[in-house]
Chains A and B, each alone.
Chain A
Amino acid sequence: AQTVTQSQPEMSVQEAETVTLSCTYDTSENNYYLFWYKQPPSRQMILVIRQEAYKQQNATENRFSVNFQKAAKSFSLKISDSQLGDTAMYFCAFMKHASPTYKYIFGTGTRLKVLA
């Protein structure tokens, strides 16, 4: 069974600084997807970034980028130029490539607070 581990329950960062959230996962699959979701106090789940395991290039979305290390089964999220609106819970998620039975396996989350 797949598992996702986020070892940092809480983190804080000063506004405009850079922060990295850690995520490791365990799987015997070769084809899969990895995601980072953001959940602000509004509780809406917002997709931040997605990575396909077969792609060696790390995904980037504006201020968000990942460091995907397939052999190490590591998938960290880097937030550059942190903004107050980045304050939220961040969830790392794994998904096996198994259409149509796609399902997320979520980590326990990291609560990020951006300080003014």
Chain B
Amino acid sequence: DTAVSQTPKYLVTQMGNDKSIKCEQNLGHDTMYWYKQDSKKFLKIMFSYNNKELIINETVPNRFSPKSPDKAHLNLHINSLELGDSAVYFCASSHHHPEQYFGPGTRLTVT
């Protein structure tokens, strides 16, 4: 059984479009995260939700909006996509513990 899943795994879209990436975890964790890995493989946190409450919001453009409908889900919506948004986006989760479990990543390509 997949612990942290993301859909889609690949997403190709044009500049200006709006897209969403979904994340689900079946581990019973209460904290979920979004990380961005750029073309140079650098990984940086974007957001974190704890019990559906936003607790980490790094310097991310307003075009990125996370939404957590419940503790098991954290979605990422991106408006007006730009070329620089092309990256791999990782979802992760944790529970009262520093160790985080990562999803398989979503490769977003903006053309």
> A interface vs B, CB < 8 Å?
33, 35, 39, 42-45, 47, 50, 89, 91, 95, 97, 99-104, 106, 108-109
| B interface, CB within 8 angstroms of A | 30-31, 33, 35, 40-45, 48, 50, 55-56, 88, 90, 92, 94, 96, 98-100, 102, 104-105, 107
Partner of B43, one of A33, A50, A91, A100: A91
A35 to B99, CA, bound (A): 9
Q: Which residue of the partner chain A has the closest CB to B94?
A: A102
Contact of A104 among B41, B96, B100, B105 (CB under 8 A): B100
Q: Hey, which chain A residues are within 8 Å of B100, CB to CB?
A: 102, 104
A-B contacts counted at CB < 8 A amount to 55
Q: How far is the CA of A89 from the CA of B102 in the complex (A)?
A: 15
SS class of chain B's interface: helix, strand, loop or mixed?
Answer: strand
B104 touches A47 (CB 8 A): no
6 A/B residue pairs, CB under 8 Å, sorted by A? A43-B88, A50-B99, A100-B48, A103-B48, A106-B44, A108-B41
Report chain B residues within 8 Å CB of A33: 98
The list of the 6 closest CB pairs from A to B, nearest first, reads A45-B102, A100-B50, A106-B43, A103-B45, A33-B98, A43-B105
Residues of B within 8 A of A104 (CB): 35, 43, 45, 100
Q: Is the CB of B31 within 8 A of A102?
A: yes
Contact in complex: B96, A47 (CB < 8 Å): no
Cβ–Cβ < 8 Å partners of A45 in chain B: 90, 92, 102, 105
Docked Cα-Cα span, A36 to B48, in Å, equals: 21
Question: How far apart sit A64 and B35, CA to CA, in the bound complex (Å)?
Answer: 26
> Across the interface, which residues of A come within 8 angstroms of B105, CB to CB?
43-45
